[in-house]
Amino acid sequence: MIYVDSSVVLADVLTEDRRPPANFWERDDLVSSRLCEYEAWVRLHAYGCAATHGPALANVLAHLDLLSLDEATCARCRAPFPVPVRTLDALHLSAAEFLRSRGFLPEVATYDARMRDAAAAMGFGLAAV
């Protein structure tokens, strides 16, 4: 299972220099939280490209199982993290911890150095993307 954060989604949708391999989205074990969906749409609107890139985003999101963030997952953010994290990263990491608490072993896919460091500090494997 791979927990995908918004940096990977946006890199693919915006066709940035570094992006996941073409067959990455064909996997059947990709998961994220609804937060990823909201973050990505906010970015597209901020960049003024929702009309042109929205269909590509919708296609990528269709390949993800999106978790809703429940109260317990959000409450995890009140506890300390092993390294300083930003709020949205804390929510993503809490969602990944929720999966781990249910017996899954998600790897985290991210292009964000702070998110990568926090995921590693929490014992998550890092997916090669």
Mean pLDDT for the stretch of residues 42-70: 96
pLDDT tens-digit map of 74-118: 999 999 999 999 999 999 999 999 999 999 999 999 999 999 999
Task: Report how far apart, in Å, the C-alpha atoms of 79 and of each of 48, 85, 120, 128 are.
Answer: 36, 12, 17, 29
pLDDT at 64 over 80: yes
pLDDT tens-digit map of 40-55: 999 999 999 999 999 9
Q: For residues 120 and 103, give the distance between their C-alpha atoms in angstroms, rounded to a whole number.
A: 18
Give the domain CATH number at 51.
3.40.50.1010
Question: Which amino acid is present at 92?
Answer: H
pTM for this prediction:
0.94
Domain count, the chain: 1
Distant-in-sequence, close-in-space partners of 125: CB < 8 Å, separation ≥ 6: 105, 107, 108
Residue range(s) defining the domain that contains residue 24: 2-126
- pLDDT band (50, 70, 90) for residue 16: confident
Mean pLDDT for the stretch of residues 28-48: 97
Mean pLDDT for the stretch of residues 26-31: 96
Q: Please identify which residue in the block is written with the tokens 């995890």.
A: 76
pLDDT at 18 over 90: no
pLDDT at 24 over 90: yes
